[in-house]
Amino acid sequence: MIKITFPDGTVREYESGITSMEIAKSISEGLARNVLSAKVNGEIWDATRPISNDSKLQLLTWDSPEGKATFWHSSAHLMAEALEILYPETKFGIGPPIEAGFYYDIDTGDHQILLADLPKIEAKMKELAANKSTYNRRVVSKSDAIEFFKEKEDEYKLELIEDLEDGSITFYQQGNFVDLCRGPHLPDTSKIKAIKLTNVAGAYWRGDEKRKMMTRIYGITFPKQKELTEYLELVEEAKKRDHRKLGAELELFMFSDKVGAGLPIWLPKGTALRSRLEDFLKEEQLKRNYQPVITPHIGKKDLYVISGHYEKYGQDSFHPIQTPREGEEFLLKPMNCPHHCEIYGHKPHSYRDLPIRIAEFGTVYRYEQSGELHGLSRVRGFTQDDAHIFCTPDQLKEEFLGVLDLTKLVLRKLGFDNYTAQISLRDQEDKSKYIGSDENWDRAEKAIIDATGEVGLETVIVHGEAAFYGPKLDFMVKDALGRSWQLGTIQVDYNLPERFQLEYIGSDNEAHRPVMIHRAPFGSMERFIGVLIEHTAGKFPLWLTPEQYAILPISDQYLEYANKVQATLSTLGLRGYIDSRTESIGRKIRDTELNKVPYMLIVGEKEESAGVVAVRKQGEGDQGAMKVEDWAIALKSNM
């Protein structure tokens, strides 16, 4: 007999060799039906694998991430089985589960798999799933494994096996399909009820751009058809909210072939929105003793040689601008910090001056790879809500707290309530790739951890993700559809003060190196607004929206009254426009609804004679008639 310990601490005894599935059955049939795999002593196992020692056991179902991973991993195998039947010449790379679904990288030789082929593969998968084939695990020797895949002429699997240790190699088989795999897998294929292959794309073998480009097929599966339907609806909703689509429809920004890829052009409405965001932050920063500065868009190449950016990125970014003067070269600025370091360095500083907070909405240019460009999220010219705080090592934590507070305010103000902070620290194993003393690093890392703890921020710590010049914190923000985005960032930097020889005179009358903090609560205006568009589906908060109201006269007889209404609203500080087209009221309402203007004020004979407006709220309909002033005041108190 063996002792099995459950997550709630209870212990039950079973025969040695019992499987998780059998244990689940001993608890309830319903549970057994839902079990996908099991965590045995922290390791994820097949539910059908015998347990022969005392163990801790957690049964995994669809509700756990590990359960989903098992489900999707098995789905990848199912797809591979279908592919092998349909395209016998296929060679297989890797086929893991991902955040939402799975993929398999395959090499189909001369035959190309197109999007149009996916339904056929999908159908074959459904057919195979219904066979209720079990996933059978077996341990094979390295030589047997090699022989098997030599036979199949699958050089990818052979390469994978090379890196594996003899004795730890397992095969899984369902139906006639055998795959090299660590597992675990589902008990059988019949659990996979709903199948959708979503995409086909290229992917380098082992992520190495020098190696062969394979075909990657993405898919997602669910235990219930309904869950697939819901998932597809979410994808549809995400498409509707796509900031590239809404940005064009709402006339916020555009791109032009002639201006160049990745260079967003802000249209009047987008500019109105962006300026309001900027003004909001500028005001907050003034309250917090930031000093706004303005620096040029270019700087001599030497500036970036000093900062180190030229060496690291010079070849892969915009190349220097030549001038009529021999040997003179300027760079489009890829970062604002070198300029700000020059500002700090232009006069001596006492420790009494610190911290110094230099802020600039600085536009920077980086030559992102053409394949990387994407709407406003990845561009070649963008504006950071940048600031650099120069402080003493002692002030680090206090300054961090201040920045955290400001960033939280920004996110709250824009309706992002769901976020975590990712703290990126040094790689503990290899400290050689970082610059700055151990003591300083320890101090900075501790300051970040302490500060986030003090403000009660939910954090994830990632070792080895720090920049070479210092640890950092990134805000990971979840939008209305539950998707995560990296927005604001705070980074500690020991490198630039060193390179620019920045100093302050301490109370000991000696020169010391200040610490620098880079921080940007929005991150970049472009990226932030892109995320904001998708988060709000284009229905921006009232204080931000380019147009707060539209006055819709029933006919042009009421234009004069409409003008009066608008004059009143302007005086009260609200912005909007009159739709003076000779169109039906139905038409005007429809167009205004589609433009997502939050309020419509309809004026006709009734309203004019009563001195009121008929208020209609976007997406909600008629709100009844009221005095303009009353409406405006109520609205403003809500903003």
Query: What would the two tokens of residue 273 be?
Result: 């929105």
What residues from 570 to 589 belong to the interface with RNA (CB under 7 A)?
Answer: 582-587, 589
Candidate residues 257, 429, 430, 510; the one interacting with RNA per rule CB under 7 A: 257
Number of residues that bind RNA (CB under 7 A): 65
Q: Tell me the window of 39-47, 83-91, 179-187, 256-264 that interacts with RNA (CB under 7 A).
A: 256-264
- 518: annotated active-site residue: yes
Q: Which residues pair with 101 in a beta bridge?
A: 98
Catalytic residue among 337, 391, 519, 588: 337
Determine the number of helices (DSSP H) and then strands (DSSP E) in the chain: 20, 35
Q: Is 505 helix (H, G, I), strand (E, B) or coil?
A: strand
| Closer residue to RNA in complex, CB, 33/581 | 581
Question: For residue 570, which of 547, 588, 553 has the smallest C-alpha distance?
Answer: 547
In terms of CB distance, is 206 or 413 closer to RNA? 206
Q: Select 47 or 121, whichever has its Cβ closest to RNA.
A: 121
Evaluated on CA atoms 221, 226, 229, 234, the torsion sign reads negative
Is 129 or 529 the residue whose CB approaches RNA more closely?
Answer: 529
Q: State the minimum distance, in angstroms, from the CB of residue 587 to RNA.
A: 3
Listed residue (178, 160, 194, 181) closest to 70, CA to CA: 181
* Joined tokens for residue 184: 């675990």
Question: Smallest distance from the beta carbon of 370 to RNA, in angstroms?
Answer: 3
Task: Provide, rounded to whole angstroms, the least separation between the CB of residue 551 and RNA.
Answer: 12
Identify whether 386 is a catalytic site residue.
Answer: yes
Calpha distance 489→386 (Å, rounded)? 10
Per the listing, tokens 């915009």 go with 318
Contact 498, 461 (CB under 8 A): no
Residue (of 439, 432, 337, 317) closest to 381 by Cα position = 317
Q: Alpha-carbon distance 342 to 358, whole Å?
A: 11
Q: Please state, in angstroms and rounded to a whole number, the distance separating the CA atoms of residues 282 and 275.
A: 10
Contact between residue 143 and residue 167 where contact means Cβ atoms under 8 Å apart: no
- Residue among 173, 174, 384, 395 flagged as catalytic: 384
> Is 337 designated active site?
yes
Does residue 527 touch RNA according to CB under 7 A? Answer: no
Six-digit token pair at 610? 């009563």
User: Which among 59, 113, 97 is positioned nearest to 192, based on CA atoms?
Assistant: 97
**Residue 605 contacts RNA per CB under 7 A:** yes
The contact pattern for RNA, residues 533-562, with x = CB under 7 A and - = no contact, is: ---------------------xxxx-----
Whether 380 is a known active-site residue: answer no
Q: Which is nearer to RNA, 261 or 639 (CB)?
A: 261
Comparison of 108 and 568: residue with beta carbon closer to RNA: 108
Residue ranges in 358-377 that form contacts with RNA under rule CB under 7 A: 366-375
Whole-number Cα distances in Å, 271 to 106, 416, 477, 576: 46, 22, 24, 15
- Catalytic annotation present for 340: no
CB–CB of 120/86 below 8 Å? Answer: yes
Cβ closest to RNA, residue 50 vs residue 619? 619
| DSSP secondary structure letter of residue 183 | -
Report the length, in residues, of the chain: 639
Q: Is 597 in the site for RNA (CB under 7 A)?
A: no
Interface residue with RNA among 123, 130, 139, 261 (CB under 7 A) is: 261
**Residues 233 to 252 in contact with RNA, rule: CB under 7 A:** 244
Q: Find the catalytic residue in 91, 216, 388, 519.
A: 388
Is 297 noted as a catalytic residue in this protein?
no
Residues at the contact surface with RNA, assessed by CB under 7 A: 112, 114, 199-204, 207-209, 213, 216, 244, 255, 257, 260-262, 309, 312-313, 316-317, 334-335, 337, 366-375, 378, 467, 554-557, 582-587, 589-590, 593-594, 600, 602, 604-607, 614, 616, 619, 621-622, 625
Q: Which residues are catalytic?
A: 337, 366, 384, 386, 388, 472, 518
